Amino acid sequence: MKRLIIFLSTLLLLLFITSCQNHLAVFDPLHTSEAIPSDTPDGTSPQVVSPSSVPTHTPGPDSTQAPVLTATPTPAPTPIPTPTPVPVVPPVPSTESPDTPVTLPAISQDDALSIIPIEYQILKLFKSDKAIRYIGYKEQNPDFDYEKVFLYVNMGLDLPFYTNINTIKETNRIDVLVNKYNKLPDDFTPQLEQLPASICSPGMGNQYLRKEAKEAFEKMHYDAKKLGLNITAYGTYRSIALQHSIWAGKVNSGRTIADVDRLNSRGGHSEHHTGLAVDVIKNNSTVEKSDEFKWYKENAHLYGFIIRYPKGKEKITGYSYEPWHLRYLGVDIATEIYNSGLTFEEYYALMIVD
């Protein structure tokens, strides 16, 4: 009997232990497959989708099967719209250069100086810090004498356009040189005066020039008027932002950068920013057939203007011939340039730059 009691007690104890183990399994701490995290890296609560709500097949775009609907996350707040900036094409070095870009010879400064004849090193044009570039450009252009090599390298023509760019410091000089190697600061704005509507081309809106250029243009206009000629201002001051927008628009229209660069300045590199440039009558080649052109071609310098981008000088100026584009430089400089046949780039390197 005693053994029977012990057996039954043991059996009851085993049944009790088994029952407790089954209840403890319900609270297994490792069973976390459906746990909900408190947040996610982006700070939003995740959307929990039960396995039964996930479709086993994703219908294609042409399928007529109704998709299985699941809860969707709360959409993020709509951002406050900001003004759309003017489309801008980042400045890209032009593939068009004055000549094939020079490859600098693998020589030292001292070696370069030893090659250049001493009699040339005493010339005003000679800059010792450019000696290696002089040698490279001379090797590429053996028919050029050293004076021409010095001049062209000093102008930057041994390098592709829009490289080695200098930001102009003396921005308000009448003889400021603005071109593909020299740009105005991004915040530059000149002091301007409005031209009378009567001396502007119809339909072109208000026109502005610096005081000196405005007065000279008015005098030229009225003197030509006495001869039955009508030299009007077609385009004058243009802001840097507007010029950049124009250039970018030309590129975005599908034209190559090299093609656009032959006809349009990049922002900061246009003479129109200075208030010293004026396109007259109309900015296309028909101007060349007018009596007005025949007159101002021979007389503009007497009022302080030059034809800034002359025919046959495209490799120096970087622009196609523009018979309509006049630049004010004052009577003395304009007359010297007219009589010499030089471009402003050449005159500047020879007579103005230190």
Sequence spans of domains, the chain: 91-160, 166-352
- Quick one: pLDDT band at residue 354, thresholds 50, 70, 90? confident
Give percent above pLDDT 70 in the chain. Answer: 71
* Calpha distance 207→193 (Å, rounded): 8
* Calpha distance 277→242 (Å, rounded): 16
**173-202 mean pLDDT:** 98
Taking all residues of the chain, what is their mean pLDDT, rounded to a whole number? Answer: 80
**32-58 mean pLDDT:** 32
- Quick one: pLDDT band at residue 105, thresholds 50, 70, 90? confident
pLDDT confidence of residue 342: 98
166-352 carries CATH number 3.30.1380.10: yes
In this predicted model, what pLDDT tens digit does every residue of 202-236 receive, in sequence order? 999 999 999 999 999 999 999 999 999 999 999 99
pLDDT confidence of residue 57: 36
- Quick one: pLDDT band at residue 139, thresholds 50, 70, 90? very high
Higher-pLDDT residue of 164 and 79 is: 164
Range scoring the smallest mean pLDDT among 51-65, 186-200, 289-303 = 51-65
- Quick one: pLDDT band at residue 102, thresholds 50, 70, 90? low
- Quick one: pLDDT band at residue 53, thresholds 50, 70, 90? very low
